[in-house]
Every structure is written in structure tokens, then in C-alpha cells.
Structure 1
């Protein structure tokens, strides 16, 4: 499937919900939170509102001040609690599953690197590598308080009428915030040095990368085992040991995630979705989908 034909509904910067606390700088930066919003309003539950998978086209950092928020990101579930930060990179497939009525979230979305300046290549690569594999990180209360101070300073500058240097001021605050993020990564990695990554964990990670790249065309264990120069039996055992799930379940989940997005896109019939995902016929696709989701593709599409 070509990238330009991606079925996932894209979540653009301008689509972040307006809670009454939303600030925009041109088309490049959004600051939004639900701080102080009454828990009996729809704005809290709809803070990030979607009931289907979406693909982000920008970088989004979520800071949890209190309460809990549950999300699914690239098929993995994460629960944000107090002093947690979730960084979602462009191209990620996400879904907001639940947000507590007592939860306060601050979101900073940026569609460009211009606002944080030209960072060192090594630092930028470290940032991407870390948050690709570890999007959720816990920080100290002190670090969260500093982050919120920077956030409120940015808001103050954007709200200041006739201030001629909004770009420069906001860029400076974002640079400090991004360098703090590099420090969080450094601290996390230093604490993790004692944990030696074993061969099985690496195989599991490599397997998921392959599945993410090929699930639309390949659903057989022999294909993935061949790519990793292993026997299907051994690879299946490793995946089960590491994740407590069968390898075929992981493949199925990627296929179903894509199928759901295709069905909800409004661009394809059930038959076409089955064809796009390389099912031999609509009947086989229907049985595969119903076994995983509990309803037929058509019922899901119209529901």
C-alpha cells in the first residue's frame, strides 16, 4: 500500500480540540490544556476525541499533571499518571481510549523543527530513537513544575497583544524544554545501564518492526522467520516468551488496526478493504475480521 494512499485519518495540528484554553502560533505550534475546566463538561472527555485510529502529522507532547489517561500508540497501550510525559512522533498511529474526569493534561504540538532551532544531529537522533521505542517517560515533580513554568511563559507571550517578538520568545522557551527532554533521556538511559538487553528481546523488537512494514502483504510466520534467519517454530517460541502473546496475534492486530481504519475512512467497500489487505476473497476477510473484532466488517463500518 502506497504511503500517499494511507487509510488512517490524519490528525493535523489544527484539529486539536478547543477546550477554551487553546492557543495557536501560525500553523506551527499549538498550546492546549484542560486546566481548571469543570469535570462535568464535555471538554474534558473530548480533550483528545477519537473513537478510531488516527495518524499524527506533527509532534505532540502530553504532560499529565494529575489523574490518568489511557491511550493506544502503535498497538501498545500506555497509561499516563501524574508527572508522566508521552511524546508522540509524526507518523505514529494512535487512539485515545479513556481520560479520567479528574485528569489534567497539557499538550504541546509542533508541526515544524524551526521553533526549536537546529539541534545537534546526535541529539536529534537520540531523541527520535528514544521516543520511538519509549514514548512514555516519568519525570520528577521538580521537572514537571519547570516544564509547566515554561508552558505558561509561552502562553503569556502568545497572549500578549502587540508583542513583536513572539517567535523569538517562544523559540527560546521551546529550546529549553527540548534540552530538558534530552536530559530526561540521559537520566533514564543512565539508570537503565544495569539492564542488559538480551537476544530474545531484540528478536521481538525486530519482529515487530518487520510486521509493521509488511503486515498488509504478509501474514505467514515463515515470511518473518525467513527475514530473521530463524525457523518459524523458534521465532514463535521467542515471541510468546517475551510478550506472553502469540506471534500470529501481533500480526493479526496490525492487520485489524489497518482494516478498521480502512473501513472507517469512507473511501472503500468491504470488498476493496479485503483486496487492499491481500485477502483471497471477501468471505475470508469477513471471517478473519469477525473472529478478531466480534462483528462483521460491514457492521463495524456502519456502526
Structure 2
């Protein structure tokens, strides 16, 4: 299936396929990012201490390590949902979005689109879904299969950029009210996006805030659902996968860019968290 070769999934959400959104159900997105665009009816969701009532033209952008509870949905609720793998989206985000903006998006995930914005985004989503539904890779030459998959990836990336552009056009940034623990988490994310290429030790990030590593990791877990080490591993592995799939760098060069002392050490680290060696991963995904 073509879905298995793409780093995202398109999920049309209708009255018949709303099982994931049953009232009272928690939707965990520990390793997923994505959007839900409401096209009909109403759906009420809760994120941390905020409740959002979505109607046609409202968009919910969710990022990794969030827990969302569906409080209520109308019988006619429908929409579009696109989920993106974390290891695909992190390197893209790093290029185009400042970390403080990403944290703002995480805190305020729901926006209302203008009619023009809604129709444009809906058009892009319908185009992507149509191509994913109608393309049959089994009838193509190897060259055409590769081109089709890359074409669909490009369409998905266009939608991703459109979503970010629409969000920040509708949601002006302003300072976030922060408690002490919120500040610890935000400062960690700032530091992580800047240093994950070279620093994988929780103690390094704890020292930056003059905190004991154990307390520091407890705060990060409390505020995000993932420990500090899990966040570090997510970032490093996501970048490694991206380079293995989409670059001609040797495994030794990738190890060097991620500040591993040797290729062997990088290989053991990668296999510990992915389950296969970098060489095996590259062979499977290229």
C-alpha cells in the first residue's frame, strides 16, 4: 500500500469513522504530530486546562507528547485528519519555525480559519487524498514508483508549510504566562533544539538551569508526558533517520555530525532505540 511508504497518513473523519473520537476518550499523540480540520458539525476537545469547541473551518494542530480528551461531538461531525511521523517533521520544523513559536503552538493549538483559508486548505487535502487513493504502485515501473512516492511526500510537505503559515497568520504571538515548571520545560526545549546534535546527556541540560538531573527530568515528564532522556532520544533518532533516508552521507559521516565518538558507538545507540542497525534501516527505507 502507498500509505506504508509515506511519512504521513490521511484520515477522512466521518460519522462512520469517528471511533477514535468517542466522547470521553483520550487521544494520545506521544509520537505523532498532525492536524484535524473540522468541515461539518461540532466537536469539543480538552487540552490540559483549556476547552475548545470546534466548528466548520476550525483547525486543531497537535504536536508530540500531548494528551487530548474528546468531551463531545455532534452526530454530523466530519473533518480531515493528517498524522505525521515525528522523525519526518522535526528536521523540517527546525529549518522554518523558531522553537518559541513551536511552544506557543503547543500551548494554543486551535485556530479559526477564514473562509478563503479553509477552502484553500481543504482543496489541498482533497488533492492529496485523491492521489493517495488512486495511485497504484503495483502497476508502475520502479522509476515511476519512486517518483510517485516523492511527489506525494512533496504534496504533504506543501500542506505542512501551508498549515504553519495559516496558523501564524491567524494567531499573533504574545508572551506566555509561565509558572516555574513551565519555564523549566520551555528552557529545556530551547536548549534541546540548539544542542541535540552534540549533547545527549540529561545532566548537561539540567546544569544549564542549575537543577539536579533527577528533579529536572521529573519536571520535564510532568509538563510534557515524556522524560528529558526520551525527548533527547526522539530528536537524535529523528535526525539520524532523516539523514539515512534523504542524504548520501556515509554512516560514519552521520555519526560525526551527531557527535558520536565512533561509527560503532552510533550504530549501537541507533539499534538500541530503533531495533535495527543504521545500515539495515537505510537499506529498508531507500
Q: How high is the TM-score relative to the length of structure 2? A: 0.53
User: How much has 1:153 moved relative to structure 2?
Assistant: 1.8
Deviations for 1:132-183, whole angstroms, at most 9, x for unmatched residues? 1210011112222221222122222222112513321222212222222232
Structure 2 SS opposite 1:33: strand
Residue pairs, 1:1-303, within 5 angstroms = 24-26=3-5, 28-35=7-14, 39=15, 41=16, 43-44=17-18, 46-49=19-22, 51-56=24-29, 57-114=31-88, 118=92, 121-123=95-97, 125=99, 128-159=102-133, 160-162=135-137, 164=145, 165-189=147-171, 192=172, 202=177, 205-206=178-179, 209=182
List runs of 5+ in structure 1 lacking aligned partners: 1-22, 214-253, 258-303
Is the 8 Å Cα contact of residues 47 and 67 (structure 2) preserved in structure 1? Answer: yes
Q: How many residues align?
A: 180
Mapped to 2, the partners of 1:168 and 1:124 lie a distance apart of 27
CA contact under 8 A between 1:130 and 1:185: conserved in structure 2?
no
TM-score by length of 1: 0.50
**C-alpha distance after superposition, 1:38-57 (max 9, x if no partner):** x5x5x34x242474534312
Unaligned runs of 5+ in 2: 187-221, 226-286
- Determine which structure has more spread, i.e. the larger CA radius of gyration: 1
| Whole-Å separation in 2 of the counterparts to 1:121 and 1:63 | 25
- Deviates further, 101-110 or 175-184: 175-184
Compute the displacement of 1:127 (Å): 5.1
In structure 2, the CA distance between the partners of 1:69 and 1:142, relative to structure 1 (3 Å rule), is same
Question: Aligned pair in 2 of structure 1 residues 89, 119: CA closer, same or farther (>3 Å)?
Answer: closer
